[in-house]
Amino acid sequence: MELTPLIRRAAQVLETPFLVLDNAYVRENYLRLKNSINNVEIFYAVKANSHPSILETLRDLGSSFDVASKGEIVKLMDLGIPTKRMSFGNTIKKEKDIKFAWENGVEYFAVDAEMEVEKIARNAPGAKVYGRLAMSSNDSDWPLSGKFGTDVDHLIHILKYAKRKGLVPYGVSFHVGSQSYNKYKWKEAILTASEVFEKLHKEKINLKLLNLGGGIPVQHTKPVPSVEEIGEVINEAVNEYLGWVKGLRIISEPGRSMVGNAGIIASRVILRSKKGTQTWVFLDAGVFHGLMETIENFRYEVIVEGKEDTKKMTMTLAGPTCDSVDTIYDEIELPINIDYNDIVYFINTGAYTSEYATYFNGIEPIKVYTIEELEHMLQGEFSPINENSLY
């Protein structure tokens, strides 16, 4: 997302930290993804950012939604989104949440374990279930292996078990890992998924759904493949390995790739100090108030207002709480003259930031504004009359 004059001005006059969201990027991301994968149905992963403006933008574009809990279902229902457009993609569901979802019209449920099948059979008889494959995710930033999914043979067993329990074995899902850099991961995953389709087809179980999960990367500090490049790999792999499946539905569950580049966090330096040979810079934003992913060393692009071209040196960047874990980056290149009150931006931080925020240390979670709200708050400031007086 571009660091516009409006955002720079907002950072000058509003209290930091805040996250600003520009839903024009969400619209563009939605349309690019829709155009990149043939016949794709998009189920936005609400957990990435559940801000109402994002959900409304996607609702109006006709998107569907991947939900993780009853809380997310209720939030979507409150925005007038029909449950037919929701899929319960969390493989670890509370039984009462399954019941609530089914009674309110949610049709699709993810499974990766026999016990989950039993829970769904008890509470959502006749529901469509898709089984999640485990993928290795060495080429991604935020690992997902282990906790979710299982192997081909186990998944086949689970889907057959679902059928015996009165459910509809409906498809296969996978997740190549959040922020995946290797586009051929999708090809490998689709090939693996096709094994499940084929083996079950031989047993007269005809799956209909290929769920591509998420994992499409957002540009931060490393170069990434574009959604078009990834789409091309997916389209070819679907044709090659699943071209024979009649009425195949393809769904994608983008989270980060839908909203990551639609946000910028603005914060300020509240202390700079030297400890031994190391320089520490402390911000009013931190791990527990928006930058949780940095503790797994997720690298955002960091810009210091007015010092973009200054010589840099290695420093430690930390948040404002009385907790060592609240250290954003142990080592980061920052402008050598970064100083008190400087504005520090974290670019493309629309996903998995405000959702993790806490009230730890008595500090409020990061505020979230849309571009429209910023415009309204700064109304008139950009007119010729008072431009000089305010800058």
| DSSP, residue by residue, 360-387 | GGGPPPPEEEEHHHHHHHTTTTTSTTTH
Neighbours of 223 (CB within 10 A): 8
To the query of whether residue 327 is one of the catalytic residues in this protein, the response is no
Write the binding mask 169 to 208 for its own copies: x where contact by CB under 8 A, - elsewhere: ----------------------------------------
* Pick 242 or 363: Cβ nearer its own copies: 363
d(CA 273, CA 38): 54
Write the binding mask 253 to 272 for its own copies: x where contact by CB under 8 A, - elsewhere: -----------------xxx
Q: Which residues pair with 333 in a beta bridge?
A: 314
Counting contacts by CB under 8 A, is residue 318 touching its own copies? Answer: yes
d(CA 163, CA 166): 5
Write the binding mask 348 to 377 for its own copies: x where contact by CB under 8 A, - elsewhere: -------xxxxxxxxxx-------------
**Least CB distance to its own copies at residue 141 (A):** 12
Q: Which of residues 107-126 bind its own copies (CB under 8 A)?
A: 112-116, 119
**Least CB distance to its own copies at residue 244 (A):** 30
Q: Which residues pair with 40 in a beta bridge?
A: 250
Over the range 333-371, which residues count as b (16 or more CB within 10 Å of their CB) and which as e?
Answer: ebbeebeeebbbbbbbbbbbbbbbbeebeebebbbbbbb
Residue 273 three-state SS = strand
Q: Which of residues 57-86 bind its own copies (CB under 8 A)?
A: 67-75
* Pick 3 or 77: Cβ nearer its own copies: 77
* Residue among 90, 192, 194, 370 that touches its own copies (CB under 8 A): 90
Counting contacts by CB under 8 A, is residue 340 touching its own copies? Answer: yes
Catalytic residue of the set 322, 384, 385, 391: 322
- Count how many residues are written for the chain: 391
* Pick 365 or 373: Cβ nearer its own copies: 365
Q: Which of residues 129-148 bind its own copies (CB under 8 A)?
A: 134, 142-148
Judge if the upstream peptide bond of residue 17 is cis by omega within 30 degrees of 0. yes
Write the binding mask 20 to 49 for its own copies: x where contact by CB under 8 A, - elsewhere: -------------------------xxx--
Task: Name the amino acid, one letter, at 190.
Answer: I
Counting contacts by CB under 8 A, is residue 211 touching its own copies? Answer: no
Rounded to a whole number of angstroms, the CA Rg of the chain reads: 23
Nearest to 171 by CA among 121, 212, 137: 212
* Residue among 204, 322, 384, 385 that touches its own copies (CB under 8 A): 322
**Least CB distance to its own copies at residue 36 (A):** 24
> How many separate helices (H) and strands (E) can be counted in the chain?
12, 18
d(CA 283, CA 204): 59
* Residue among 56, 95, 198, 375 that touches its own copies (CB under 8 A): 95
3-state helix, strand, coil in the chain (%, to 5): 40, 25, 40
* Pick 74 or 191: Cβ nearer its own copies: 74
Counting contacts by CB under 8 A, is residue 320 touching its own copies? Answer: yes
* Residue among 23, 211, 321, 353 that touches its own copies (CB under 8 A): 321
Q: Which of residues 275-294 bind its own copies (CB under 8 A)?
A: 275-276, 278, 280, 282, 284, 288
Residues marked active site are found at 322
